[in-house]
Copies of this chain bind each other. A is one copy, B any other.
Amino acid sequence: MIKIDFAKGNGLVPVIVQDYRSLEVLMMAYMNREAWTKTQKTGKAHYYSRSRKGMWLKGEESGHYQEVKDVRIDCDNDTLLLRVKQRGEGACHLGYRSCFFRKKAERSWKTTARRSFNPGQVYKNASKDERK
């Protein structure tokens, strides 16, 4: 019987979120047991915000929901991988499709993607959505 090991991370597991078609990694977040239950019940990704100390529905403010297509668990039962259909223009609160929009170059990190939406129009309070 495989059980998600929430204990190792003090009640939280890291969750990698990947676009179900392109396999682009969109973001990383955390789930507690409540977020995991809610995600299964609704089919929409819910996470736990360490800064706000509570569960949140991804997209509740932006409309950028994530429909969960499948969920995988790693060999240690302590990390989840979600493949999702990303609703709206992107997953990143800074306006990009993926949170991983910067790539290491010789002496700096280079932005390699274009903004797909204006975060100021989507998030009333951008800092509020920095929820990890």
How many of chain A's residues have a CB under 8 angstroms from any CB in B? 35
Query: Which 8 residue pairs across A and B have the least CB separation, nearest first?
Result: A23-B23, A72-B100, A74-B99, A71-B104, A2-B109, A75-B99, A81-B100, A28-B79
Among B24, B73, B96, B101, which residue has its beta carbon within 8 angstroms of that of A100?
Answer: B73
Among B28, B72, B76, which residue has its beta carbon within 8 angstroms of that of A16?
Answer: B28
Enumerate chain A interface residues (CB-CB to B < 8 A). Answer: 2, 14, 16, 18, 22-25, 27-28, 70-76, 78-79, 81, 92-94, 96, 99-104, 108-109, 112, 130, 132
Task: Report chain B residues within 8 Å CB of A108.
Answer: 2
Task: Report chain B residues within 8 Å CB of A23.
Answer: 22-24
CB-based contact B70/A104 at 8 Å? yes
How many angstroms from the CA of A2 to the CA of B18 in the assembled complex?
Answer: 24
CB-based contact B25/A103 at 8 Å? no
CB-based contact A72/B28 at 8 Å? no
Task: Report chain B residues within 8 Å CB of A27.
Answer: 74
